[in-house]
């Protein structure tokens, strides 16, 4: 049998601990595949006590991840620290400069410094692999980098954040408000105490930045992604869209257009009978539209110790077999600049929810604002809420509270929609800012 394949693991949190457990339980199986022993030679963590666990009895502890990255006893450096800079970036750079292969699950690091790290890996003839950085156990990186490398990708999109999908699923199934479900997600450990990174769409944007580069051969460009979260989604939106045959999902979508790449994270309406509408709870899904392979949908666990550790281990096995290729498929020197498409040029249908003052002419004002922008309406539904008199009160005319109007448009440009809604808001006929959600044709 050949020399052992030695690992240095930096970070023994959820994913790092999961990887240690996987190698401890399935190490013999992996070794039989590779034809040589797989061995954890060294580990690094915030506290030495974290290394006192089954599977690490023979691993050397390093208080400094950079020192571990440079250590001659390891062949592969596994970075599971997290964060876009700091010790995570320094240790990965040290490993690559020391001609060590690197496996990471760090989406923030790659979305921010992916190109420069890819250049460093290619310069030193080593691998920089990151299957676990996007969608956990779902093998979307390998699918784009290997299985579909001969195809031209038309679009890549998906549910890339389990926290948001859980919240929207619970709002749908249990008819509960956003704030209430968010508290449940925090109690279950799906959302952080400060959930902004998830519910604000930023976690999805990091992942989409990586997928966009792989799909279209462009430099990673996190700052070119339009980002909207789910904070504005209300139970009224959930109920209205359900009655119209839709589900609301937070989607990351990237596609190549004539004016550039449209990459956006935002809530979207999808038809109830579409496959992605059925993806519920914390599950993730990634869809790829390719010219020869057609439409592919990958669904699975997007986070957690075991699923993410599985993805990390798959990269380790590839390296163990000597399979080395440019991190973003295209050599980094040949990656194109990311040319951002104008979001206002997006062409599609829209859902709009308006809350109107009970005043004459409100509906006519809305129709005019839409008509002036040549926006054709597919459907318009008005819900007027009537407040009955209190028991025992003298009879008087029923009191009308503000009316909710739901509009579905035919296809139009985003610029036209935004300008029409600006006009409606300025006219003073609405009690709150209009809600607009794109309808995604899948």
> The CATH number of the domain where 21 resides is what?
3.40.50.720
How far apart are alpha carbons 345 and 341 in whole angstroms? Answer: 8
* Catalytic residue of the set 107, 207, 219, 429: 207
* One domain for residues 21 and 116: yes
Q: What is the pLDDT at residue 344?
A: 76
How far apart are alpha carbons 368 and 436 in whole angstroms? Answer: 18
The DSSP string of 299-364 is: EEE-SSHHHHHHHHHHHHHHHHTT----TTSS-GGGPBP--BPPGGG-EEEEEEEEEE-S-TTHHH
The CATH number for 433's domain is 3.30.70.260
Q: Give domain status of residue 310, yes or no.
A: no
Q: Is the model more confident about 345 or about 102?
A: 102
How far apart are alpha carbons 95 and 126 in whole angstroms? Answer: 10
Q: Give domain status of residue 174, yes or no.
A: yes
CB atoms under 10 Å from CB of 309, counted, come to 25
Work out the pLDDT band at 442, boundaries 50, 70, 90: confident
How far apart are alpha carbons 304 and 306 in whole angstroms? Answer: 6
Average pLDDT over residues 45-61: 92
* One domain for residues 19 and 124: yes
82: domain range? 5-133
* One domain for residues 170 and 114: no
Tally the domains of the chain. 3
Tell me, yes or no, if 175 is annotated catalytic: no
Of 301, 330, 360, which residue constitutes the final position of a domain? 301
* One domain for residues 11 and 103: yes
| pTM for this entry | 0.92
pLDDT > 90? residue 17: yes
Q: What is the pLDDT at residue 389?
A: 53
Q: Are 114 and 93 in contact, with CB atoms under 8 Å apart?
A: no
* One domain for residues 95 and 183: no
Of 331, 337, 339, 327, which is closest to residue 110 (Cα–Cα)? 327
How far apart are alpha carbons 162 and 142 in whole angstroms? Answer: 21
Q: Give domain status of residue 336, yes or no.
A: no
* One domain for residues 30 and 145: no
* One domain for residues 106 and 162: no
Q: Give domain status of residue 321, yes or no.
A: no
* One domain for residues 123 and 178: no
Q: Residue 183: which H helix or E strand, with range? A: helix 178-187
Q: What is the pLDDT at residue 382?
A: 82
How far apart are alpha carbons 344 and 259 in whole angstroms? Answer: 11
| Helices and strands (H, E) in the chain, number of each type | 13, 19
How far apart are alpha carbons 398 and 386 in whole angstroms? Answer: 6
* One domain for residues 162 and 274: yes
* One domain for residues 9 and 106: yes
Work out the pLDDT band at 394, boundaries 50, 70, 90: low
Residue 403 corresponds to which tokens in the numbers above? 């009316």
- The three-state secondary structure class of 389 is coil
Q: Are 407 and 351 in contact, with CB atoms under 8 Å apart?
A: yes
Of 65, 98, 133, which residue constitutes the final position of a domain? 133
Instruction: Indicate the range of 150-154, 363-367, 398-402 predicted with least confidence.
Output: 398-402
Q: Give domain status of residue 172, yes or no.
A: yes
Residue 61 corresponds to which tokens in the numbers above? 């502890």
Of 72, 87, 1, which is closest to residue 41 (Cα–Cα)? 72
pLDDT > 80? residue 358: no
Q: What is the pLDDT at residue 387?
A: 47
Of 84, 112, 133, which residue constitutes the final position of a domain? 133
Q: Give domain status of residue 330, yes or no.
A: no
How far apart are alpha carbons 157 and 275 in whole angstroms? Answer: 13
Backbone angles phi, psi at 206, to 5 degrees: -60, -45
* One domain for residues 144 and 266: yes
Average pLDDT over residues 235-260: 95
* One domain for residues 358 and 417: yes
| Residue 101 Cα distances to 42, 223, 300, 364, 397, angstroms | 15, 28, 27, 65, 77
Q: What is the pLDDT at residue 388?
A: 52
């Amino acid at each position: 049998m050949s020399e052992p394949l030695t690992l240095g693991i930096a970070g023994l949190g959820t994913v790092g601990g999961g990887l240690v457990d996987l190698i401890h339980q399935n190490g013999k199986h992996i070794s039989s595949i590779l034809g040589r022993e797989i061995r954890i030679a060294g580990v690094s963590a915030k506290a030495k006590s974290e290394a006192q666990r089954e599977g690490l009895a023979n691993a050397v502890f390093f208080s400094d991840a950079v020192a571990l990255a440079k250590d001659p006893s390891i062949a592969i450096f596994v970075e599971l620290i997290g964060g876009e800079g700091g010790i995570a970036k320094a240790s990965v750079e040290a490993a690559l400069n020391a001609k060590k292969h690197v496996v990471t699950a760090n989406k923030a690091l790659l979305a921010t410094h992916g190109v420069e790290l890819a250049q460093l890996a290619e310069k030193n003839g080593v691998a920089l692999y990151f299957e676990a950085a996007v969608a956990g156990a779902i093998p979307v990186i390998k699918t784009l980098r290997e299985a579909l490398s001969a195809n031209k990708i038309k679009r890549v999109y998906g549910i890339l954040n389990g926290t948001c999908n859980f919240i929207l699923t619970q709002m749908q199934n249990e008819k509960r408000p956003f704030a209430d479900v968010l508290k449940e997600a925090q109690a279950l450990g799906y959302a952080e105490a400060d959930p902004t990174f998830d519910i604000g769409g930023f976690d999805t944007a990091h992942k989409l930045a990586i997928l966009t580069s792989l799909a279209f051969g462009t430099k990673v460009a996190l700052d070119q992604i339009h980002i909207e979260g789910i904070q504005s989604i209300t139970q009224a939106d959930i109920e209205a869209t359900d009655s119209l045959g839709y589900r609301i999902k937070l989607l990351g979508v990237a596609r190549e257009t004539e004016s550039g790449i449209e990459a956006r994270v935002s809530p979207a309406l999808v038809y109830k009978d579409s496959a992605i509408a059925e993806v519920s709870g914390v599950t993730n899904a990634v869809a790829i539209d390719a010219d020869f392979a057609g439409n592919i949908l990958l669904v699975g666990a997007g986070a957690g110790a075991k699923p993410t550790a599985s993805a990390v281990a798959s990269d380790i096995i590839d390296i163990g077999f000597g399979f080395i290729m440019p991190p973003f498929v295209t050599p980094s020197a040949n990656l194109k600049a990311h040319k951002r498409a104008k979001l206002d040029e997006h062409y599609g249908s829209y859902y709009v929810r308006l809350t109107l003052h009970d005043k004459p002419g409100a509906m006519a004002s809305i129709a005019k604002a839409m008509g002036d922008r040549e926006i054709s309406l597919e459907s318009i539904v008005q819900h007027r809420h009537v407040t009955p008199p209190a028991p025992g009160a003298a009879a008087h005319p029923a009191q009308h509270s503000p009316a909710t109007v739901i509009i579905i448009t035919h296809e139009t440009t985003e610029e036209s929609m935004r300008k029409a809604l600006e006009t409606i808001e300025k006219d003073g006929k609405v009690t709150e800012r209009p809600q607009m959600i794109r309808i995604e044709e899948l």
